[in-house]
Structure formats: C-alpha cells, structure tokens
Chain A
Amino acid sequence: MREARDRWRATTVAATIERQPLRRERFETMSGLPLEDVHVPNGGHELGEPGEYPFTRGIHPTMYRGRLWTMRQYAGFGSAKQTNERFKYLLQAGQTGLSVAFDLPTQSGYDSDSPHSEGEVGKVGVAIDSLEDMDTLMGGIPLDKVTTSMTINAPAAVLLAMYIGVAEKQGVRPDQIGGTVQNDVLKEYIARGLYIYPPGPTMRLTTDVFAYCARHVPRWNTISISGYHIREAGSTAVQEVAFTLANAIAYVNAALSAGLEVDSFAPRLAFFWNAQMDFLEEIAKYRAARRMWARIMKERFGAQKPASMMMRFHTQTAGVSLTAQQPLNNVVRTAIEALAAVLGGTQSLHTNSYDEALALPTEEAARIALRTQQIIAEETGAASTADPLGGAYLIEDLTDRIEQDAWAYIERIEVLGGAVEAIQQGFQQTEIMHAAYEYQQQLESGERETVGVNAFVMEEPSRPDLLRLDPLLAQHQIERLQALRKRRNSNVVDRWLAELRHAASGKDNLMPPILGAVRAYATVGEICDALRDVFGEYQPPSII
C-alpha cells in the first residue's frame, strides 16, 4: 500500500498539484496532529471486538442496537422551583436523564446570603442552600425511576447527601437511586477553578464518597473524571486525554491508599469528554481514551473485573465552539459535534443550545438541542452499528497517534510526581494556557477561520430572544434561606456540625456526619465552612 501511494503521489498527485496548488502547505487536525493526503493501512491496530478488552470499539457488545445513549441535558437556573419546571419540560420532551447545573455559590460551598455570592445567585445554575431546596428541585420526579447527574465537585458529598435525603422523603432507598456526582476537583485546580480545599483533604472527601457509595449507594457513579473543562480551557485533544487520565490514575491511587480494593470502586468511575469541531479527531480521541483506560486498569492496577476496565463516559458538545455572531449557525456546529460523540461510542450526551454564547438557553433553544440528539438517533443510522468508523485508515492512525502522544504526556506528569504534584507546580495549567494562546493567535492571523467571527462576517441587526432572570431572584432565595434558619432546630444543626469537624480531624468517613447535618437542614455553606475550619483553603500557584 505504501509503495502504491508513493507512486500515486509522484504521478497523479504531482500532475494535479501543478494545475491546482493545494490550499495549504500543511494539513493538520485542530490539535495540530499531521494529516496525510490519504491514509493507508498501517497494520498496527489493536482493535478487539465491541464489549471486549481493550474496548477500543465500545464498551457494550451491542452498543446502540441494544439501547441508545442517555440524552441528558444539563439544565439549571434561578430557583429550585423554576429549574424543576424546566426538568419536567425536558422529561416530557423525551429526555431520558436529568443533569443539574448548580449556581456558583452552591458549587463554591457558599450560602446565597454570603458576601461572596453577591451577583451570582441563580445565575449559571440553580441556587441550592439546603435539603429544602433540593426537595423542591426534585419535586414530583420519582428518584427510583430517573437517574440524575450533578455537576458538583468540591461540595459533592454534601449535594449527594441532599439527594439521598430527598429520596428518603420519597420512600426510596439509597440502593434504588442512580446518578452521578462529578466529584473531580483535580480538574478544578487545572481548569475551572471551583475548588475549595487543598489536595490532601480533597482526595479524602473524594474517596470517602467512593467508599460510602460502594456500601450504600451501589448504582451511583461516584466521580465523573472530566476532560471537558480542560478542553474548554484551551487544551488540545491529546492534552484533554492525557491530563484526565493522569487525574484518574491519581484518584485510583488515592482510593487504594485509603484501603479500598480496586474492583470494589473502579466500576463506578465514569468519565466526561468534550466534543469539539474536528469531527474525525474527536472520534479517534474517544477510542484512544477507552483503550488507554482499559490498559491502565488491567496492567497497572491489576483490576480483574471487565467493568473496572471499561471507560463509561458522558460527552458534552464544546461550549467554546459556539459563536455569539450568527448564533443559529451553532445548531449546525452542535449537530456535528454530537454526531462525533455518538460515532465515538458515548454513553450519555448533552448538546448545547445555540444561544449559549449569549446567555442561558431559552426553552426553545433547549428543545432544539435535544431534538438534535433525537434526529441523530432516529434518522441518521449512526446508531445501527457498533463503532461504524472502526477500521477507517485515518481514524485508526489518529487513534494510535493520540494514544501515543497522550502516553508521553502522562510519563512527563509521572516524572513530576503525578497529577497532584504537577498541578501544584502549575504544569498542566501552563501547557493549556500556551495551547489556548496559540489557538487564539492562529485565529487572529487568519490561519484558522471561524464562520461569523473572522470569515463570512455580516452585519447583524438583532439578537435572538434571550432568557432573562428575575432580578429579585437572589432576594427571594435569601429570604427563604433565612426563614429556614429560624425554623429549624439549631441545636441539632450545631451538634452535627461539631460532629463533622471532629470526624474531619480524624480518619472516619465523612459521609455519615454530612448526611446527619443535611437531614437537620444545615446549609451547603455551613457544612463547607465546618470543613474549611479543619482543612483550610487551596491557594493556587501563580503561572502568569
């Protein structure tokens, strides 16, 4: 094949280029991986079968022939009541799982009336202060039937406890509920900033959730190890895979050090990837990541259960690929990204709404985003065959190349002492920052084109209708919170918070005292403050 290609290049291609020069000197992927004029078999692929080690072709033998991916739209804004209405709307429109967006105070472990929360209450997600709000959020939604993913990291244990508390009120046992907490603070240190505590206590909170759920909440995904935000921060596809898997290795090591047995918690580890605009590179990325994880779990950690080696993952289309200019074009971008995720074998998917470069999505925009998934599922045939692009020369070459480059990065991180050490030295953050800057420079030099931004630009008189939030939202939330503080038994709250501080100073699992505090209507801010008292707060390294 190689000789045939050489001949073809020397004759047919050379003659063509003479008449019509190539558009560019070099062709490469969005992440800068080289692309040839045409790819040929390289003979080195390690594919295996769908549902078998190393799971390159997917984790289920039947893939979407058995069951489609879960259509799980991330939603949340304003009050618990408003978000509950949006959830019911999405479920009624055919969504198959819930995904909660919390506001920044909740994600940062502050109450709505904290001075840190000024201007942020209910803005990027729903404001949850206590079990009371969580109860309203999930009102009328049967928690033994619907699974819920919660984007919550540093306070993951607290929000999980609230979810368990709501289930108890519905008469649903913890072993009947299913869902996910993101619970991945390492990527917060790297990319998104919603950390609270230093790495040591953070890893303990994370592994306490692993241990507690393994015993009491067996259907819960205890972590969603996320490349998504790393990519949004400007990383390449290779960095997304490498930094995320390095984090995953750190979590497994922490759990092993805490005395857990690998096959007891590994089947509940889940992943979360971005779907960017380079369609083919993204499909290869999911396949490479899946194969690498299988190897890591089997060879490095000696896992025995196949479920421990399977990378189950959620995908979200790239928020950064959306443009504020000509926003309807974003429907097309999202559709292409979503198709890549499906062809790459995702287990669940969120498709962004076209208006999200401008504001939170309106109901109409959210519906079109969901319909995009339904069209891919029902009309395109993409769900009819496992790993439909497997064996395509380019896809296999890119899969191998991403894997090879990602291993090299992981080795560099190991030399620095592992993911946690490297983060404290600012290694991943610096690498991402440089990649982001390079990307921006290419955009501004015109080397890269984005339709509506630096190509095919046009005058736009009007913006689409945007979602506007109630200006009195924060005030009402604060009033509800303060009324709750008066109503509840503050002696019981104080006793549980003291118990929690005590446990935090020792080695006991923190979930039981957190659950106790939550049931007594202690707030997110109070519980996180109790832990701040013992653990202190993280100070990031300065990298710029």
Chain B
Amino acid sequence: MTIAEKRIRVLVAKPGLDGHDRGAKVVAMALRDAGMEVIYTGIKQTPEQIVRAAVQEDVDVVGLSCLSGAHNTLFPKVVQLLREQGAEDVLVTGGGIIPDEDVPFLQEQGVARIFGPGASTRDIVEYIKTSVKP
C-alpha cells in the first residue's frame, strides 16, 4: 500500500454517562462504508479513556457524541488531554443535542466542527475527507 492509499483512521467515542449511541453507531458504519478504519469506544467513556484509545490506535480523527448536555465540559477536556499527549494534530469533531450558541465556545476550545441533529453522514464523510490527509 502506498502512502496515498493509506486509510483515514477514526475513533468514534461516547464521553460521559449518556448511553444514546444510535447516532454514534450510524456515523461509525457510514465512515466505514466510506472506506475509513473506524474504532468505536462504546458508551460511558471518560475523556482519559478516549484519549488513551486515540493515542494507542494512532487515529487521525476523534468523533465525539453526547446527547446529555455535558458537551461543554467533556469535549474541551478531550481536546486538552490530546494536546497534553502531544496528539494535537488529531482532528476532533462533535455531535449530539448541541445548541447553536454553544458551537463558538466549543470551536474556541479546539473542536473543529459540530454536526447537530439532522446532519447527514455524507456531510460528515465529506468533511473528514477534505480535512484529513492521512
């Protein structure tokens, strides 16, 4: 396999106590169908567990999903821990029940893009493909 053919590696992760993972699984399946390597953490992961998995699996992208309203606490924590691990080049995206007015804060904190309710998996695939050069 040449470098140009290297597949994008994505960690789909569920931080916090929220167990609603329909969206996370659907996105994981869509990314896999789009040719990416996808690892799903399962639910109820701490930011530390997520970052450990991201570093171990050497992923290009971490996709966070949270529907419980804890995103403003948990998403920035994942970004910060990635930086502490020297993995600041990992693209972090997020999704879930996230009010528009929280998006600027999350972006300031280093979450590259938020996909809210109704987002299409095609847009997510497209975004990752244009943003990541594996």
Instruction: Report B-chain residues with C-beta under 8 Å of the C-beta of A124.
Output: 18, 68-69
* CA distance in complex: A433, B43 (Å): 14
Q: How many CB-defined contacts (below 8 Å) exist between A and B?
A: 102
Judge whether A453 is part of the interface by a CB distance below 8 angstroms. yes
* CA distance in complex: A360, B69 (Å): 9
Instruction: Report B-chain residues with C-beta under 8 Å of the C-beta of A542.
Output: 40, 42
Judge whether B118 is part of the interface by a CB distance below 8 angstroms. yes
Beta-carbon contacts under 8 Å, B77-110 to A: 97, 99-100
Query: Do residues A436 and B25 form an inter-chain contact, with CB atoms below 8 A?
Result: yes
Q: Number of A interface residues, CB 8 Å? A: 44
Judge whether B50 is part of the interface by a CB distance below 8 angstroms. no
Query: Do residues A104 and B18 form an inter-chain contact, with CB atoms below 8 A?
Result: yes
Judge whether A233 is part of the interface by a CB distance below 8 angstroms. yes
Query: Do residues A466 and B68 form an inter-chain contact, with CB atoms below 8 A?
Result: no
Give 1 or 0 for each of B40-54: 1 = CB within 8 Å of chain A CB: 101110100000000
Query: Do residues A108 and B121 form an inter-chain contact, with CB atoms below 8 A?
Result: no
Query: Do residues B16 and A120 form an inter-chain contact, with CB atoms below 8 A?
Result: yes
Judge whether A232 is part of the interface by a CB distance below 8 angstroms. yes
Given contacts A324-B117, A444-B121, contact A544 B17 (CB under 8 A): no
Question: What's the minimum C-beta distance from A106 to chain B, rounded to whole angstroms?
Answer: 10
Judge whether B122 is part of the interface by a CB distance below 8 angstroms. yes
Q: Which residue of A lies closest to B66 (CB)?
A: A119
Instruction: Report B-chain residues with C-beta under 8 Å of the C-beta of A476.
Output: none
Binds B, one of A186-194, A208-216, A310-318: A186-194
Query: Do residues B72 and A119 form an inter-chain contact, with CB atoms below 8 A?
Result: yes
Give 1 or 0 for each of B9-49: 1 = CB within 8 Å of chain A CB: 00000001111111001101110000000001011101000
Query: Do residues B44 and A433 form an inter-chain contact, with CB atoms below 8 A?
Result: no
* CA distance in complex: A440, B71 (Å): 24
Query: Do residues A463 and B100 form an inter-chain contact, with CB atoms below 8 A?
Result: yes
Judge whether A437 is part of the interface by a CB distance below 8 angstroms. yes
Interface size class of B (residues with CB under 8 A): 20 to 34
Query: Do residues B70 and A123 form an inter-chain contact, with CB atoms below 8 A?
Result: yes
Query: Do residues A116 and B22 form an inter-chain contact, with CB atoms below 8 A?
Result: no
* CA distance in complex: A117, B74 (Å): 11
The majority secondary structure among interface residues of chain B is loop
Instruction: Report A-chain residues with C-beta under 8 Å of the C-beta of B20.
Output: 192-193, 232-233
Given contacts A108-B17, A325-B118, contact A358 B97 (CB under 8 A): yes
Query: Do residues B46 and A116 form an inter-chain contact, with CB atoms below 8 A?
Result: yes
Residue of A188, A436, A443 with most chain B CB atoms under a 10 A cut-off:
A436
Contact of A119 among B16, B97, B117 (CB under 8 A): B16
Query: Do residues A540 and B42 form an inter-chain contact, with CB atoms below 8 A?
Result: yes
Query: Do residues A233 and B22 form an inter-chain contact, with CB atoms below 8 A?
Result: yes
Q: Which residue of B lies closest to A544 (CB)?
A: B40
Judge whether B120 is part of the interface by a CB distance below 8 angstroms. yes
Judge whether B2 is part of the interface by a CB distance below 8 angstroms. no
Judge whether A359 is part of the interface by a CB distance below 8 angstroms. yes
Instruction: Report B-chain residues with C-beta under 8 Å of the C-beta of A357.
Output: 97, 117
Query: Do residues A323 and B43 form an inter-chain contact, with CB atoms below 8 A?
Result: no
Instruction: Report B-chain residues with C-beta under 8 Å of the C-beta of A359.
Output: 69, 97, 99
A-B contacts, 9 of them at CB < 8 A, read: A117-B17, A119-B72, A120-B18, A120-B69, A357-B97, A433-B26, A444-B122, A463-B100, A466-B99
- Given A193-B20, A463-B99, 18 other A-B residues pairs in contact with their CB atoms under 8 A: A116-B46, A118-B70, A120-B16, A120-B70, A123-B70, A124-B18, A193-B21, A194-B17, A233-B21, A320-B22, A359-B99, A437-B26, A443-B120, A444-B122, A469-B69, A540-B43, A542-B42, A544-B29
Name A residues whose Cβ lies closer than 8 Å to a Cβ of B: 104-105, 107-108, 110, 115-120, 123-124, 188, 192-194, 232-234, 320, 323-325, 357-360, 433, 436-437, 440, 443-444, 450, 452-454, 463, 466, 469, 540, 542, 544
Which 8 A-B pairs have CB atoms at the shortest separation, nearest pair first? A193-B19, A119-B73, A119-B70, A104-B17, A123-B69, A324-B117, A193-B43, A453-B118
